[in-house]
Each structure stands twice: as structure tokens, then as C-alpha cells.
Structure 1
Amino acid sequence: MSTHVAHDPAHRARQIQVCGIDTEVWEGGTGRTLLLLHPGDGFDPDAAFVAPLAERFRVVAPSCPGFGRSGGPGAMKSVDDLSYFYLDLMEALDLKDAIIVGLSFGGWLAAEIAVKNTSRMAALCLAGTLGAKFGDPMTREIVDLFSVPLYQHPQWLHHDEKLRHPDYAGLSDETATMLARNHGSFGLFGWSPTLHSRHLHQRLHRIKVPTLLVWGAQDRVVPVDYGRKWQQAIPGAEMLVVEDAGHYVHADQPGRFVGALEQFVNSPARR
């Protein structure tokens, strides 16, 4: 595996090459390493939760292949494929005892990684995660976001009224193009079956690191009862339900999200 690094000081990002794919990796902060896996609309370094997170941890936030300024996914077609790519990325970055935080789609990816290999992980946090199918084939457990126009997604993702109606007309061409690219890649990895893996729920017992589930009480994409099924499936998992928060609990309640994560990581049981 070759690693070529080019720095981008304007974005505090660099490019590394993993398995032949140029991959954008944003880094900020100092302290324990936290690998942040972004949701389906990509990583935004200006999001309200990122700065306080970087005040407490060394945040490493890659953009998945097909997202942000990373190269295309090549032959990868599934989150299962992505999980092996990320295992190689963690090796390339020589991450050790890392805290893995997955947001929505990123939580699905984090779980797929964790059922395979946790040797570089110290703890896992899944926030409003997708990806597991617990019920029968005729019962929908996850809202089909692909049936919802992209401009309506914020109304499904957020509880905070200020975040539910973004000014798309005011976006720069570059930002709008990147958002569309991210959504296309989200569709590639999550389209069929819709936003889940057929077998992930049967493998969650393999997660052997301390795990925290953070859920918005008003999550309209995957309700709290769905999160409880994740908690039951992962040995010893803890769950926190945050009031006044929707699917993007990290965006609706950034202070409470970061505080809960810090408390979980720094509890005496995990020191």
C-alpha cells in the first residue's frame, strides 16, 4: 500500500493514496485519536460540532471514495466493500486505540468495520446509525431517503427548525456540485438493499469494544425503537437518547453530542 501526502492548508486537509485511490483526510485538534465517519451528505469541517470535537480529540475525518475531494470508488459498490478500504486506510495512517465515531451512513460503515476487525479501535460511537435490518422483509425500519427529493432531506434529518430549510440558492457552484456528488455516491453504496446490509444484524455480536449509541428522540429516519435493537444486538452497548434532536443528533444538539461522547470515552471503565 503506497501513501503519498499533499497538504491543503486552507482546509487543514491532506490527500493520501490508499489502494490506488486519492483520499481526502481532514485533521484537527490534539489528544486521543478519533476517526470520524461522515453521514451520507459528506463531511463539513465547518459543522457546529467539529470545532468542539477537535478541542477534545485529534479528529481524523476522511471523505469516503466518491465523496468530498476523494477519488471515485472504482470497483467498490457496497458498504461492505468500503469497510475493507477503511481497514486499509487505518493501517496506512497507523491508527492505534482509536475512537471510531460514525454518523448515520458513517455509523453503518463503522459497524461493518467493527464486525471484521477492532484491533485498532478503543471504543465505538454510533449516532443515528443505519445499516441493519432486524424485522421481516415486509416491514420498513429505515425511511427510504432515496424516494425523497434532495432539497427535502434536511426536513427529515433535522429537528432544529433553523437547519430544516437551508439556502440552496446561496451555495457556490463548487459546494452545490460536491453536494450532488456526495448524494450520488450515497446512492451507490446505499441503494440496494435500501440503506442496510442483509447480514449485518447477524454479525453485530462480534463487536467487542465499548460501544455508545446516541439517538435523537425525534429521529424520523430511524426511530428510537430501532436504536434499541442495535443496543440489544451489540454486547454491553450503552444508549443515550437526546431530546430535541432528529436523525442528525450531532447537528441538532452539537454540545450535548460532544459532551456525551467525551463523558463516555473518559469514564473510569475506559481509562
Structure 2
Amino acid sequence: MADIHPSALVDEKAVVADDVTIGPFCVVGPGVSLGAGTRLYSHVVIEGQTSLGAGCTVFPFASIGLPPQDLKFAGEDSRVEIGDNVTIREHVTINPGTEGGGLLTQIGSNCLLMVGVHVAHDAMIGNHVILVNNATVAGHCEIGNHAILGGLCALHQFVRVGPHAFVGGMSGVEHDVIPYGSVIGNRAHLGGLNLVGLKRRGFPRESIHNLRQAYRELFSGDGTLRERVALLGADLASDPLVSEVVQFITSDSKRSFCTPRD
């Protein structure tokens, strides 16, 4: 059976795996599902239609699944879905989706949300994402796999951050960040590629070289960004990393792109 502290309030309708640990003064609502091996330390509040996968760890004073900070929210049946092996540190807040955004806030597996992180309604966060202390993710944002958001940064609503991108600490990001890109500043500008992350994750040297060449061609010269995309050589555009950047740029978005400073 689950190890539940006597002071915890766990609704009898909640779905709690046998080997879950729930510490003192936690509150778990009727629509909550906790996967195998998940641990709530103490003073954790999880409400709404919220599911946590296996092996998650939630530290004190985290608040998950309570109504979003959206004045249009009218109590619609929305959800929070969190994958496996996610670590949620102290004072993190995660809000469910809204009718205007698909009714779902989703966080993938193997993510780390450090102290004070906020994930707003309808945000979609991939796998292996790190959100450093007090990073703020506004409503409807999308964050790709392996992205890292530095401490005290803030994403404007509807911003997309591509896979393996890096957002520097205290950056205010109001435009999309390309995959493998690195941005910093208020408002954030594209400062180059996330070369440190690319090397750490073992991407081939040739692919990194191709990505650097594509970066130079995409973000310098005449014409618009989309026009420069069309001018990329076929050999360069066929590289998997470059192709991912091209698809990101040419897909639909509600925001423009972070670009280098003149």
C-alpha cells in the first residue's frame, strides 16, 4: 500500500499507486493520479484533473492543477499531464489548460523544474527540459526536448522554444527561439548556437559544422528570413539538424523570431 502520512488529506477518489509516498500536510484531490514510485515530500497541493507519471518527486509548497491565472477561465474541465521521472522543486506552480488553448497543460518525462518555476495554462513542455529557478513560462508556450531556460527568465505567451535551445538567465523572451539556438537579453536576441549543449549531447562534428554554416546564411544577408531559408543549398538543408531549424521557421507561429542584433 501507499505510504501516506496521517496528516495528509488524500481524497478517496484519487488514483494512488501502491508504492507512492505522501508526506505530512499534503493535499491530493479527487481527480489526481499518482504513478508508481512518486513521492510528495510535504505541504504539496495537487488538485484538478492532474496526472503524474512514475518516479516523480515533488518538494514542499508546490501547487499543481489549481485554476489558471486567466480571467477567461470559467471552470472548464481541463487537465495537467506530467510524465515520468519529473522533479518539481519547492514553490513551483503548474496550472491546467483552458478552453482557448486545448484544455491541456503538458510536461514530458525526465524534466527538472527548479525552485519557484511557473508553468501557465496550455503550455506544452517536452522531455529532458530544465527550467532553472524562477523561470516563468506563460500561457500557450511550447518548449522542445532538451531545452534549458535560465534562472529568472520569462517567456511571453505563445512563444516557442525549439529543441536543444538555451535561454540565458534574466532574459525576457517575446519571440520564437530556433532549435539549437542560444538567446539572452531583455528583450532577448539570438546570440548564436547552443554549441555547449550540442557538444555535451554528442552531436556529430559534421552536423555542428553544417548547422553553423546554415546559421550564417539564415541570419545575415539581404531579404527576409523566409527568403533566406528558400536560398539554402539542398545539401545543407538535408542535414537533420538544419532541416529541423528550417521546419521550425517555416511552420505556423503566433510570434516572430529572435534574431541577432545588428
TM-score by length of 1: 0.28
Structure showing greater relative contact order (alpha-carbon pairs closer than 8 Å, 6 or more residues apart) = 1
Of Structure 1 and Structure 2, the greater strand share is in 2
